[in-house]
Amino acid sequence: MESKKDTVYHKKQASYHDKRNILNKAHLIEPIIRHRIQDSIFYKQYLFLSNESTILPIIIDQVKYIFGTESNGRPSPFLCCLLRLLELEPKKEIIGAYLTQMGYNEFKYLTALSLIYIRLVYPSQEIYEIFDGYFKDSRKLRMKLKSPIFDEKSGLPVRYKLTHMDEWVDHLLTKERVIDIILPRLIPRIVFVQQDILPPRKYHIQETSKVEIDSDESEPEEEEAENDSYESDSD
Prediction pTM value: 0.78
Taking the C-alpha atoms of residue 94 and residue 52, their distance in angstroms, rounded to an integer, is 8
For residue 126, name the pLDDT band (cuts at 50, 70, 90). very high
Query: With contact defined as beta carbons under 8 Å apart, do 22 and 28 qualify?
Result: yes
**Residue 222 pLDDT more than 60?**
no
Range 221-228 average pLDDT:
52
pLDDT at residue number 1: 47
User: 177-178 and 140-150: which strand pairing?
Assistant: unpaired
Continuous H helices in the chain: 31-38, 41-42, 55-62, 77-88, 92-100, 108-121, 124-131, 165-174, 189-194, 204-234
Alpha-carbon Rg for the chain in angstroms? 25
pLDDT at residue number 97: 93
For the stretch 25-83, pLDDT in tens is 899 999 999 999 999 999 999 999 999 999 999 999 999 999 999 888 899 999 999 99
